[in-house]
Amino acid sequence: MPFVSRIATLLASTAALLLFSASARADPTLTISNGILLGAQGVNVGGSLYDVQFVDGTCNALFLECSASGTNHYAFTTRESATLAAQALLDQVMLDSSLGRFDSNPAVTGGCVGFIACGMITPFFNEPGTGQSSFTVDGMISINRSGADEVRFWTKPNTETTASANTAYALWTPAAAVPEPGSYAMLIAGLGLLGALARRRNANGTAH
């Protein structure tokens, strides 16, 4: 096989390995303080990674504006994407494990002290004229001891959670794009093979 073809094949293989590595999603890293779940990093929402914090307050204060005339400052802008985010909390973050009973004991979730349920509110922007309020709060996640986790939909644009014992906001932000260590390793290995092929070609050329 000609040298150029070998280089092209090797580069294609290296790129494929890097893409495979990037597509492999590790479990989120939970943010825990004194046994309380305060959020997570690297939550997979529809194939994209997000960080999330559980915080108390009002929608206006946390998202700059939550009114029909306001500007959209939400991480998710459709009901479908906000639903995916809410479900991702149930599937990836609020789980019972050796780190804590974050499913069966709602009281160990940030913003919640009630033992029956805990709701994380993920708001989204809804365009006017769809039959709902312009800013609809989506993703009221109830977690109770019976295990009946579910995603509920609200239409309360500026809910106050500070005084509530069982609700808080899920503040989402896109996760920083940091290559996985495995990607670096494969890239270095690919470059090393390229160097070896180049040296071999030079040696063969000198021998002739």
The residue to which tokens 């005084």 are assigned: 163
Judging by beta carbons within 10 Å of its beta carbon (0-12, 13-18, 19+), is residue 97 exposed, middle or buried? exposed
Share of the chain above pLDDT 70, in %: 58
Measured distance CA(60)–CA(49) in Å, rounded: 25
Rg (CA), the chain: 24
Q: What is the mean pLDDT of the chain?
A: 75
Quick one: average pLDDT of 166-170? 89
CB 48 within 8 A of CB 82: no
Q: Please, which pLDDT band fits residue 22 given cuts at 50, 70 and 90? A: very low
Q: Please, which pLDDT band fits residue 166 given cuts at 50, 70 and 90? A: confident
End-to-end CA distance of the chain: 18
Q: Please, which pLDDT band fits residue 158 given cuts at 50, 70 and 90? A: low
Measured distance CA(6)–CA(170) in Å, rounded: 50
Beta-bridge mates of residue 44: 49
pLDDT in tens, 57-93: 888 788 876 655 556 678 888 888 989 999 999 999 9
Helical residues (DSSP H) of the chain, grouped into ranges: 3-23, 59-63, 79-88, 181-207
Q: Please, which pLDDT band fits residue 117 given cuts at 50, 70 and 90? A: confident
Amino acid at the residue 115: F
